[in-house]
Structure 1
Amino acid sequence: MELHTTHLLLRELSPADLAAVHRLHSLPEVDEFNTLGIPETVAATEHLLTGWLAQREATPRIAYVLAVQRTKDHEFVGLIALNLGKATFKNAEVWYKLLPTYWGQGLTTEALTALLNFGFDRLQLHRIEAGCAVENLASVRVLEKAGMTREGRKRQVLPIRGAWVDNYFFAILKTDGVPV
């Protein structure tokens, strides 16, 4: 499965992405609002990647964890994912992580918009949700620019570096329409 945008290719992960994924997960600035923490070894990242690759083979498929790369030079930019909820509810949750080199260029919003459209158009979802730490102002802006609505705040729900932090939760409905 591949999704193409003006500047990006969202594609299935492969074992060859291990070094790039490990580099992404090992950066302290990427980990600032991450509940996974920095992996201690490449083997820890490999275990995570293996799980994502296995999800691709599940029937029915329950998750799409995709590599994000620039189309002009095929550079690895980061990861984006859509985790499906129960089929009855026709919902899913999105998450993303990009390398700091690519922050502030609109690429996260571009990737997220493509994934939202995929969820609504191809998977026929009704609702797609996302969450982010309240201090993660850049992610708040991305979610809002992609047309998602902040629906509330969960208190002390995210375990980040030994502290419990609050989380905003966002959603977009198919009927809301994803901005172009």
Structure 2
Amino acid sequence: MENLHLFTDRLELRSVEVSDLSNIHRLLSIAEVDEYNALGIPTNTEVTEVYLNEWIDNFRYRKEFVFAIRLKSTEIFIGLISLIVGNPKYKIGSLWYKLDPQFWSKGYATEAVGEVLKFSFQTMELHRVEAGCAIANIGSVKVLEKSGLIREGHKREILPLKSGWSDTYEYGILEKDWVTR
């Protein structure tokens, strides 16, 4: 499968490639980005390269679509967004994203999530997309709710963060919800 490009008014979402390594490593090394991230800050670029190569392989097998988020106007890398596709029988995807804090609170995450939902339902023909976030991650709570995902649950102490075990809110959106939003 060739590189995949999705576009919104302000953003280009392009499947990650080897040339994104330094941008991805920088993003994953930002303390504010890591605050609600169970992955942890990579110790060096070789660790980040392992993640990147796994994402590229998963893209080839259509198991996970990790996109570099770039501003269309300047081509600046501002983050990552991913759709993980589960068992084809269930037609469920899981969503995650990370943005550079310089670009928080500008609507970019909501815009990127909206485009990945469109891809999920129109191109991948999924039935459902899910996402979860730490309950203290108010920014992500707002993004998911603005994007039309419905809070369906609260899991206790499931996310191992540096600060300790965190509860999560669990969100979901069905294709019929997305179509009628």
Q: TM over 0.5, yes or no?
A: yes
Residue 21 (structure 1) aligned with residue 11 (structure 2): no
Q: Which residue of 2 aligns with 1:2?
A: 5
- Cα displacement (A) at 1:177: 1.7
Q: 8 Å contact 1:82–1:92 — kept in the other structure?
A: yes
Q: Give distance in 2, aligned partners of 1:157 and 1:14.
A: 31
Q: Which residue of 1 aligns with 2:141?
A: 140
1:122-163, Cα deviation, whole Å (9 max, x unpaired): 111110000000000000000000000000100000000161
- Cα displacement (A) at 1:57: 1.5
State the aligned residue count: 178
Q: Give distance in 2, aligned partners of 1:56 and 1:142.
A: 25
Among the aligned pairs, what percent are the same residue? 43
RMSD: 1.2
Stretches of 4+ moved more than 3 A in 1? none
Amino acid aligned to 2:137: N
Under a length normalisation based on structure 1, what TM-score does the superposition of the two structures give? Answer: 0.96
Amino acid aligned to 1:19: S
Residue 128 (structure 1) aligned with residue 129 (structure 2): yes
Q: Which residue of 2 aligns with 1:153?
A: 154
Structure 2 unaligned runs (5+)? Answer: none
Q: Which residue of 2 aligns with 1:51?
A: 54
Q: Which residue of 2 aligns with 1:62?
A: 63
Residue 114 (structure 1) aligned with residue 125 (structure 2): no
Amino acid aligned to 2:69: V
Q: Secondary structure at the match of 1:115?
A: helix
Amino acid aligned to 1:166: D
Q: 8 Å contact 1:66–1:79 — kept in the other structure?
A: yes
1:13-59, Cα deviation, whole Å (9 max, x unpaired): 1111000000000000000000001111111111111111111222x
Q: Secondary structure at the match of 1:113?
A: helix
Identify if the C-alpha distance between structure 1 residues 106 and 178 changes in structure 2 by more than 3 Å, giving closer, same or farther.
farther
Q: 8 Å contact 1:116–1:178 — kept in the other structure?
A: no
Structure 1 unaligned runs (5+)? Answer: none
Q: Which residue of 1 aligns with 2:83?
A: 82
Identify if the C-alpha distance between structure 1 residues 48 and 84 changes in structure 2 by more than 3 Å, giving closer, same or farther.
same
Amino acid aligned to 2:11: L
Identify if the C-alpha distance between structure 1 residues 110 and 178 changes in structure 2 by more than 3 Å, giving closer, same or farther.
farther
Amino acid aligned to 1:4: F
